[in-house]
Amino acid sequence: MGQSLADLLLYAIPLAIFFFLYFRRRGKHLRGHEEILQESRESGLTDPVCLHPVVDPLLCIGSSSCVKVCPEGSLGIINGKAQLINPSVCIGHGACMAACPMEAIKLVFGTEKRGIDIPFVTPNFETNIPGIFIAGELGGMGLVRKAAEQGKQAMNAIKDLKQAGKTEFDVVVVGAGPAGIAAGLGAIQHKLRYRIIDQEDSLGGTVYQYPRNKIVMTSPVHLPLIGKVKMTEVSKEALLEFWHGVIGKTGLSIHFRERMEAIRPDGEGFLVKTTAGEYSTRAVLLAIGRRGTPRKLGVEGEGLPKVVYRLIDPEQYQGQKVLVVGGGDSALEAALAISEQAGTQVALSYRGEVFGRVKPKNRTRLDDAQASGRIRVMLNSTVTRITPQSVILEHEAKPVELPNDAVIISAGGVLPIDLLKKVGIHFETKHGTE
């Protein structure tokens, strides 16, 4: 009897220690999830901006499989069930849905409170306007693999269109992200006359604007001319390097810094007006993202070379006087990153009274930077004029002139939805539906 008890204790004690440590660690994680959810609610960051997961609580068993595979940390376990705890960082990878053992997750667009306009497209990605196609993020698909697949399938449909007399191109592709690049490769494969334009100065679309080292892809993708590309979790930098390699290998032609301004019917084809010219084409493929064209201030001097609309490399501003304009996370993060560079003088201008919809971590970092004198925060301020040597603002109803070398405007983007509606493309507002 004594020996049996000793044997039992020999196994029971290590087992008890194991479960104690396991549940203590799990409890820490769960408390961390609750804190993140609370921070999101306090910051007003409760609405996802793109495709995102919705969990059926009746099917969810709280296995945490979805939480473990999410590279963004947007999912957590609350009261034993998976839940979107950090919606603003979710970019619709879809790895969570694939990992769920109970099929309790579906990916949807919009929420009950915040609808998202999604264009109507047929199974081959043609809109209600024959000859105009949409693929990728504008159509609601932010996943790199699926966006590329849509671009490829859309080009397969475009190659079968009847010729529309004498046009300069068979297809004009707007956007050089995953969908646009895959479509361009398909155009080469099918020997189509094509032109790809993008308003940015480099390829990658939305991926190009992500922070450094962000995980942007979680599944292999099949590309025309290239074949199957076996990528799982890959960083922004690695993916962009891969795309550049594809262009070098295939000779894909992309015209950067060229923005679409209008599409007009022209016989059986279209005239596409851009900032560089006007092109006649049989078909148009819109492979643009949902970030849109940067919102401008509309003030004198905004066209100066020192004015940009996003931060690429903080180090380039060493020793400079920089003004950042905006009140969101991107503006705060830009100001903070630049303030850490040697010799910089940074001012942050925002028209509002408080930074409402920002992450608590960014607000805390900004408070510290302001207290230490690294950033001058100017609430209730608007830029009225930009000169080569300075910036003039109205701050608390008084004019203020700041010596200035560079201006970064982080005021969001303007989607081309109105432009597309003028063409006649139909949209559907999604409120948490697939």
Q: Which CATH number goes with the domain that contains 201?
A: 3.50.50.60
Examine the pLDDT at 207 and tell me if it is beyond 70: no
Say yes or no: 401 and 287 in one domain: no
pLDDT tier for residue 210 given thresholds of 50, 70 and 90? low
Say yes or no: 374 and 283 in one domain: no
> Is 298 inside a domain boundary?
no
Say yes or no: 392 and 421 in one domain: no
Rounded-to-integer distance, Cα 266 and Cα 164, Å? 9
* Predicted TM-score of the model (pTM): 0.72
C-beta of residue 139 within 8 angstroms of C-beta of residue 50: no
Rounded-to-integer distance, Cα 20 and Cα 390, Å? 62
Say yes or no: 71 and 147 in one domain: no
Question: Could you tell me how many helices (H) and strands (E) the chain has, helices first?
Answer: 9, 27
Rounded-to-integer distance, Cα 415 and Cα 426, Å? 15
> Is 260 inside a domain boundary?
yes
Could you read off the pLDDT of 280-320 as tens digits, one per residue?
999 999 988 766 678 888 999 999 999 988 888 889 999 99
What secondary structure does DSSP assign to 267-296, as a single string? TTEEEEEESS-EEEEEEEEE---SS-EEPP
Rounded-to-integer distance, Cα 138 and Cα 109, Å? 12
List Cα–Cα distances, 77 to 44, 117, 425, in angstroms: 20, 30, 40
Q: What is the CATH number of the domain that holds 43?
A: 3.30.70.20
C-beta of residue 412 within 8 angstroms of C-beta of residue 328: yes
pLDDT for the residue 374: 94
pLDDT tier for residue 58 given thresholds of 50, 70 and 90? very high
Say yes or no: 131 and 243 in one domain: yes
pLDDT above 90 coverage of the chain, percent: 36
Could you read off the pLDDT of 126-151 as tens digits, one per residue?
999 999 999 987 766 566 777 888 89
- The last residue of a domain, from among 108, 130, 149: 108
Mean pLDDT of 21-36: 63
pLDDT for the residue 92: 72
> Is 299 inside a domain boundary?
no
pLDDT for the residue 218: 56
pLDDT for the residue 376: 95
Say yes or no: 54 and 72 in one domain: yes
DSSP code of residue 129: S
Say yes or no: 128 and 275 in one domain: yes
Say yes or no: 61 and 124 in one domain: no
- The last residue of a domain, from among 56, 86, 108: 108
Say yes or no: 205 and 340 in one domain: no
pLDDT for the residue 24: 59
Say yes or no: 96 and 204 in one domain: no
C-beta of residue 132 within 8 angstroms of C-beta of residue 81: no
pLDDT for the residue 213: 59
- The last residue of a domain, from among 75, 108, 141: 108
Could you read off the pLDDT of 1-20 as tens digits, one per residue?
555 666 665 666 666 665 55
Say yes or no: 266 and 153 in one domain: yes
Instruction: Return the bridge partners of 255, or none.
Output: 197
Examine the pLDDT at 228 and tell me if it is beyond 60: yes
> Is 153 inside a domain boundary?
yes
**Number of domain units in the chain:** 3
Rounded-to-integer distance, Cα 185 and Cα 285, Å? 13
C-beta of residue 293 within 8 angstroms of C-beta of residue 417: no
Rounded-to-integer distance, Cα 226 and Cα 185, Å? 9
Containing domain of residue 405, as a range? 307-412
pLDDT for the residue 163: 74
Rounded-to-integer distance, Cα 37 and Cα 75, Å? 9
pLDDT for the residue 15: 65
Examine the pLDDT at 191 and tell me if it is beyond 90: yes
C-beta of residue 65 within 8 angstroms of C-beta of residue 100: yes
What are the helix (H) ranges across 310-378? 329-339, 360-371
What's the mean pLDDT when you consider all of the chain? 83
For residue 26, the surrounding DSSP H or E stretch is: helix 2-43
> Is 302 inside a domain boundary?
no
Contacts of 94 (CB under 8 A, 6+ apart): 51, 107, 143, 146, 218, 219
**Of the segments 39-53, 87-101, 191-205, which one has the largest average pLDDT value?**
191-205
User: Which two tokens mark 153?
Assistant: 């399938």
pLDDT tier for residue 107 given thresholds of 50, 70 and 90? confident
Examine the pLDDT at 204 and tell me if it is beyond 70: no
Say yes or no: 275 and 316 in one domain: no
pLDDT for the residue 83: 86
Could you read off the pLDDT of 327-369 as tens digits, one per residue?
888 899 899 999 999 999 999 999 988 887 777 788 889 999 9
Examine the pLDDT at 27 and tell me if it is beyond 60: no
> Is 297 inside a domain boundary?
no
Rounded-to-integer distance, Cα 239 and Cα 216, Å? 8
> Is 301 inside a domain boundary?
no
> Is 183 inside a domain boundary?
yes
